[in-house]
Structure 1
Amino acid sequence: MKNIIVTFILTFLLIGCKNEKVVLEEETLVNYYQIDSTIIQDGGIKMIPITTKDTVFHVWTKRIGNNPKIKVLLLNGGPGCTHEYFECFENFLPAEEIEFIYYDQLGCGNSDNPKDTTFWDLPRYVEEVEQVRKSLHLNKDNFYVLGHSWGGILAMEYALKYQQEMKGLIISNMMSSCPEYGKYADEVLALQMKPEALYEIQKIEAEKDFSNPKYMELLLPNFYEQHILRLPAKDWPEPVNRSFAKMNQSLYVTMQGPSEFGISGKLEYWDRTQELKNITIPTLVIGAQFDTMDPKFMQKMANLLPNGEYLYCENGSHMAFYDDQQNYFKGLIAFLRK
């Protein structure tokens, strides 16, 4: 009888503690969703002051959704694109109660543009992301970084320095080695082109005649529609066209180089493959069959990461969140939910 009474008391206490925990969590959520009526609401936009080289600039961010436990900061590609091509995320993540944050890097979109190439520098961008994190009060209990393309380079570099501040990492459509990326472009992607188109493209690049309108006329059907976004360019989603139209060419050329086919510029020799073993937080690597990046190499990256997973988009290209949406978002959401 005594044991029955003790068991009853312990059960009662456990239920009480559990109910108290639920109440506290509900109160936390209520506070999080609470709208501060003392200030004007602006749709979750925050202009964040960034101090770099003793100068203060402002970068643009916008929060979509509310979830104190899952906050995904999106790092766009290019370099030099804007957050806008990520707008398809709005059709998938809010329904799963996943909060994400748009962010235009310095020199991009709605953020300040110093128009000075000395600011286009990978270590400087890493410190910029850290200042954004602090300003948005993101921490190891809720903070995920999703970097796409160039944003994937920035995300890896950030994680290698600041993973103690993160809950998880998503490397979307980016290899950990620019030399290997260049090799894949030359030895695999180039050989898939029509020989006559490749000859003309290489001729224009050898002459450094990148402003020649024929260059893009050749690249669109032979490269972009095959490996960037697998739709006829006339049918590309409006957010993609809007983002690409705002490309900061100075930033792009400084970091990527003038060629659309391969890589040069400051990032030409960037390679962090040997350091992937040092990223110990849960990490999802996303690759696609028709990507500009080698999907097998990205699978290898996932294996090198101590807590790595690989998501393969069999119908996708570099922008698999458009041309293989169901696979992309199903895998991303499952990772974030775990």
Structure 2
Amino acid sequence: MKFYSWLFPAVLLFISCQTNPQKSDGQESTSAEQYLSFENRDDQFTGGIKMIPITTKKGTFNVWTKRIGNNPTKKVLLLHGGPGMTHELYECFDGYFPQEEIEYIYYDQLGSYYSEQPDDLDLWTTERFVEEVEQVRQALGLDASNFYLLGQSWGGILAMEYAFKYQDNLRGLIISNMMSSVPEYNAYAQNVLGPQMNPEIYKEIKALEDAEDFENPRYSELLFEHYYTEHVLRMPPEDWPEAIMRTFKHANNQVYVHMQGYSEFGITGDATLKDWDVRDQLKNIAVPTLVIGAQYDTMDPEHMKWMSEEVQNGRYLYCPNGSHLSQYDDQKNYFEGVIRFIEDVDQNNF
């Protein structure tokens, strides 16, 4: 299986805050026993897993979700990147959210590994994915009193688009490691990050791209050695988490290439996201919003700081040690900031 672009191609070539305060209205948060209990839950039999039917113009398909914990006021739906990657990018959340008694829901979007994977390019549109998220929300019983939406990379695009249409359903929005403009992302990748590389290496990568020779093993080799370990996940290849390797293995390249394209230096060619730009719409987001940027990200951290100032009620979380997967390579800053945001919104202190 081949792997492409912004969430890391052919990696397989190289690798064979603890207490919960009372709520401001005097209600106590859930106990640890209540948080962990499956009693009287309709997903007890499956250990929290629900296959949710999604209605589309091309028929009805099932998407996979798994709920962790119980908390009536703090429920976080996780939108993975890609498109076409999986919820496995978020498995490190298991190490942080449970002790804070934050309920969270893993979710594989339609076309991703644990959900149905129809072979129809007409399904892979941002607009249809937005309606899918809304159907998932309804099926899980999430609402404006408890619903936090966290999207990273492509998931950040999807989270923004969802908020533009359905923000009245949200308690809080978290945009992680995603700019609000693909043209701006392209410019940052090609004018800033690329030239930071060894000039000879960058020249060879660009030559392979210009020739559209993306399946050349040399292309993946150069990117992994000189780009991924600098800007995607800042760890030696042998230390990359097993969950990340699993999401590569499970990637759906049809969805990924159709929407994102092949190139590691921006979204180009016929990819459907290449002209996506919502900079002028950010001012319409009124729900409390956290925007996360990282120093070494594939995305411009200054642009993401600007996004947090452009929305009506925003906060910026900067990860000085992080890259695109800052939930792994800058965990302390990432999770402290995300948890603080959720707690502040929950207690009406935002």
Q: Same fold (TM over 0.5)?
A: yes
Which AA in structure 2 matches 1:313?
A: C
State how many pairs are aligned. Answer: 317
In the aligned structure 2, how far is the partner of 1:116 from the partner of 1:70? 35
CA-to-partner distance for each residue in 1:19-40, whole Å, 9 max, x for gaps? xx9799889x969956138986
Give the SS at the match of 1:286: strand
Q: Please, which of 325, 333, 346 is the counterpart of residue 327 of structure 1?
A: 333
Q: Which amino acid aligns with 1:307?
A: N
1:82 maps onto 2:86 in alignment: yes
Matched residue type, 2:132: E
SS at match of 1:284: strand
Match of 1:10 in 2: none
Of residues 227, 243, 246, the one that matches 1:242 is 246
**Equivalent position amino acid for 1:136 in 2:** L
The CA RMSD measured in Å over matched residues stands at 2.0
Aligned to 2:141: 137
Structure 2 segments unaligned to the other structure (5+ residues): 1-24, 345-350
Match of 1:303 in 2: 309
Query: Higher helix share goes to which structure?
Result: 1
Of the structure 1 ranges 35-44 and 159-168, higher mean CA displacement relative to structure 2 is found in 35-44
- C-alpha distance 336-209 of structure 1, shift in aligned 2 (>3 A): same
Contact 1:32–1:68 under 8 Å retained in 2:
no
Match of 1:47 in 2: 51
For residues 128-158 of structure 1, the C-alpha deviation after alignment (integer angstroms, 9 at most, x for no partner) is 0000000000000000100000000000000
Matches within 5 A, 1:250-261: 250-261=254-265
CA contact (8 A) 2:43 2:50 kept: no
Q: Percent identity?
A: 56
Deviation track 1:185-223 (CA, whole Å, cap 9, x = no partner) reads 011001111111111111111111111000010000111
Mapped contact 1:166–1:281 kept (Cα < 8 A) = yes
In the other structure, the counterpart of 2:188 is: 184
The equivalent residue for 1:211 is 215
Superposed CA offset, 1:44-99 (max 9, x none):
00000000015010000000111110000000001111000100000001100001
Using structure 2 for the length normalisation, give the TM-score. Answer: 0.87
Alignment partner, residue 3 of structure 1: none
Question: For 1:126 and 1:183, how far apart are their aligned partners in 2?
Answer: 27
TM-score (norm 1): 0.90
CA contact (8 A) 1:64 1:99 kept: yes
Q: Does 1:117 align with 2:121?
A: yes
- Could you say what secondary structure the match of 2:201 adopts? helix
Q: Relative contact order, CA 8 A, sep 6+: which one is greater?
A: 2
Q: Spell out, residue by residue over 1:155-191, the C-alpha distance to the aligned partner (whole angstroms, 9 max, x if none).
A: 0000000000000000000000000000000110011
**C-alpha distance in 1 between matches for 2:27 and 2:216:** 65
The amino acid that maps onto 1:327 is N
Report the alpha carbon displacement of residue 117 of structure 1 after superposing the two structures with TM: 1.2
Question: Would you identify which runs of 4 or more consecutive aligned residues in structure 1 move more than 4 Å?
Answer: 21-27, 29-34, 37-40
- Note if contact 2:43-2:49 (Cα within 8 Å) is conserved in structure 1: no
The change in CA–CA distance for 1:39 and 1:329 in structure 2 (over 3 A counts) is closer
Shift in Å, 1:234: 2.1
- 5+ residue gaps, structure 1, are 1-20
Aligned to 1:314: 320
